[in-house]
Chains A and B, each alone.
Chain A
Amino acid sequence: MSRYSIFSLARNALSYHENWSRAWRSPEPKREYDAIIVGGGGHGLATAYYLAKEHGITNVAVLEKGWIGGGNTGRNTTIVRSNYLWDEATHLYEKAMKLWEGLSQDLNYNVMFSQRGVLNLGHTLQDMRDIERRVNANRLNGIDGVVLDTKGVKEIVPIINDSPNARYPILGASFQPRAGVARHDAVAWGFARGADQRGVDIIQNCEVKGIRRENGCVVGVETNKGFIASKKVGVVAAGHSSVIASMAGIRLPLESHPLQALVSESIKPCIPTVIMSNAVHGYISQSDKGDLVIGAGIDSYVGYGQRGSYSIIEGTLAAIVELFPTLSRVRMNRQWGGIVDVCPDACPIISLTPVKGLYFNCGWGTGGFKATPGSGWVFAHTIAQDRPHELNAAFSLDRFSTGHLIDEHGAAAVAH
């Protein structure tokens, strides 16, 4: 497997870029592995990568029912930030942020992490008080953030509608300069390549049909490619987590909802940062290609259809046009949906389960992409050591019976 560099680029140019080696193999599954990861999205691939890199566990398979990165990893709006309110959440997302900052070098794969900042707009006095509280909490935890007034927002985004006569006038915003966006497909591919180089088998088109257990311990998984044995199984199946959990007789506090996003035609650079608004419910950034990347809200009903309602798109675009009247005639090119597994407290579950050797990493809901490297890092630790890392100890499944919820739904900058 070649290392990517300016020299390999020059060398391959001589053969018209026709002889690049494959970034990862496509092996048939072995009979047994030391650990199996169910789900080949960013989080699953990152888990496999850090299992190999940090814990020396390389006899690992990642089982993906479709193609890697084809689920929510390829369907999100690529926003990365760590400005959550509560200590537990903030430390977890900040771990991810620190990994993001060195990820392209670590993986030898350009994930195009661009720290262009994120604005979380405030439209009411109460919004601004909540923003001040959150920014103060962030700064006490060593996370960057400032509170801006209307003028400060306008300076960063000149095309924003700062009229005091707007239905939801912009009174200010929080700004996290280290936040930004990353190329979501590259994250999946980079982790896949890095894991594969360390011996991990990535097996696509391999759907898990059952979880075999003996005496309360996991012994392997039934798949459409036959039985694969392993004493450790980590499930990172996002919207399908409840489906996999039911195979092992486990109930989860999750509901899977369709979440939509859309991109416009390419236009000249006009949005230099990421802008989110909880009150009018829209978020927007501009990709390097020039298309506007717009995130909508979830449909309220349970749905696995990877498509949502038109009324949600209509509401989101109304919000975007309210914020940016100049975009009212920009045409939308594509629209799609993903299935997000929403937890009652809008925080993930990264946890051991009542079945020994079976671990779950789920409940990321509408905001999992930003945590991809951190999620994989703590989940690899959880699987390798059979106990959570201190960063994810609070995110265990038993918090729903102890009552130690980490309520980020209304409190933090969660836009859903």
Chain B
Amino acid sequence: MLILHCPWCGPRSQTEFAYGGEAHIARPLSPESLSDAEWADYLFMRKNPKGRHLEQWGHAMGCRRWFNVERDTATYAIQGSYKMGEEPPGGQR
């Protein structure tokens, strides 16, 4: 069971949260100018790393706000949470 740290509500059980997938995937500003392969890359392709992962979580059963978490997908160790627009605790993306 993970204990996630909501930047607004503090440490809470994982069951309160909704997982939002890989963080920092920006929607292309002009989708119509992309090739099919580029659009597929945005829509479907994921890093899915074994190790350090930057991911989105929403406090669905709490304040309902979204934030990012830096977590290790192999050990499940959580490095920390950070608000949207901030830099991850472990440095660069």
Interface residues of A (CB under 8 A from B): 240, 242-243, 246, 251-256, 300-305, 309-311, 344, 400-403
Can you pick out 5 interface pairs between chain A and chain B where the beta carbons lie within 8 Å of each other?
A: A246-B47, A301-B19, A344-B44, A401-B36, A403-B36
Q: Which of A254, A309, A401 has a CB less than 8 Å from the CB of B39?
A: A401
- Given A243-B50, A400-B40, A402-B36, the answer on whether A252 and B74 have CB atoms closer than 8 Å is no
The answer to whether the Cβ of B63 comes within 8 Å of any Cβ in the partner chain is no
- Given A301-B19, A305-B76, A309-B2, the answer on whether A251 and B36 have CB atoms closer than 8 Å is no
Q: A251–B41 contact, CB under 8 A? A: yes
Q: Which residue of A lies closest to B40 (CB)?
A: A401
- Given A309-B1, A400-B40, the answer on whether A304 and B46 have CB atoms closer than 8 Å is no
- Given A301-B55, A305-B74, A305-B75, the answer on whether A240 and B50 have CB atoms closer than 8 Å is yes
Q: Which residue of B lies closest to A309 (CB)?
A: B1
Give A302 to B40 CA distance when docked, in angstroms: 20
* Chain B residues with CB below 8 A from A246, complex form: 47, 49
A303 to nearest B CB, angstroms? 6
| B32-88 contacts to A (CB < 8 Å) | 36-37, 39-41, 43-50, 53, 55, 71, 73-76
Q: Which residue of A lies closest to B48 (CB)?
A: A242
* Chain B residues with CB below 8 A from A305, complex form: 73-76
Interface residues of B (CB under 8 A from A): 1-2, 14-15, 18-19, 21-22, 36-37, 39-41, 43-50, 53, 55, 71, 73-76
Q: Count A-B contacts at CB 8 Å.
A: 69
Give A246 to B47 CA distance when docked, in angstroms: 8
- Given A301-B55, A401-B37, the answer on whether A254 and B1 have CB atoms closer than 8 Å is no
Q: A242–B49 contact, CB under 8 A? A: yes
Give A403 to B37 CA distance when docked, in angstroms: 10
Give A256 to B71 CA distance when docked, in angstroms: 14
A133 to nearest B CB, angstroms? 27
Q: Which of A243, A302, A403 has a CB less than 8 Å from the CB of B53?
A: A302
* Chain B residues with CB below 8 A from A309, complex form: 1-2, 14-15
Q: A304–B55 contact, CB under 8 A? A: no
- Given A301-B55, A304-B73, A401-B37, the answer on whether A311 and B15 have CB atoms closer than 8 Å is yes
* Chain A residues with CB below 8 A from B75, complex form: 305
* Chain B residues with CB below 8 A from A403, complex form: 36
Q: B44–A253 contact, CB under 8 A? A: yes
Give A356 to B76 CA distance when docked, in angstroms: 35
* Chain A residues with CB below 8 A from B44, complex form: 253, 344, 400
* Chain B residues with CB below 8 A from A304, complex form: 50, 73-74
Q: B55–A302 contact, CB under 8 A? A: yes
Q: A242–B46 contact, CB under 8 A? A: yes
A150 to nearest B CB, angstroms? 33
Q: Which residue of B lies closest to A254 (CB)?
A: B48
Q: Which residue of A lies closest to B71 (CB)?
A: A301
The 10 closest A-B pairs by CB, nearest first: A253-B44, A242-B48, A300-B19, A401-B40, A251-B45, A401-B36, A400-B40, A304-B50, A400-B44, A301-B19
* Chain B residues with CB below 8 A from A400, complex form: 40, 43-45
Give A119 to B47 CA distance when docked, in angstroms: 37
Give A305 to B39 CA distance when docked, in angstroms: 31
- Given A309-B14, A311-B15, A400-B40, the answer on whether A253 and B45 have CB atoms closer than 8 Å is yes
Give A251 to B53 CA distance when docked, in angstroms: 16
A384 to nearest B CB, angstroms? 28
* Chain A residues with CB below 8 A from B46, complex form: 242, 251-255
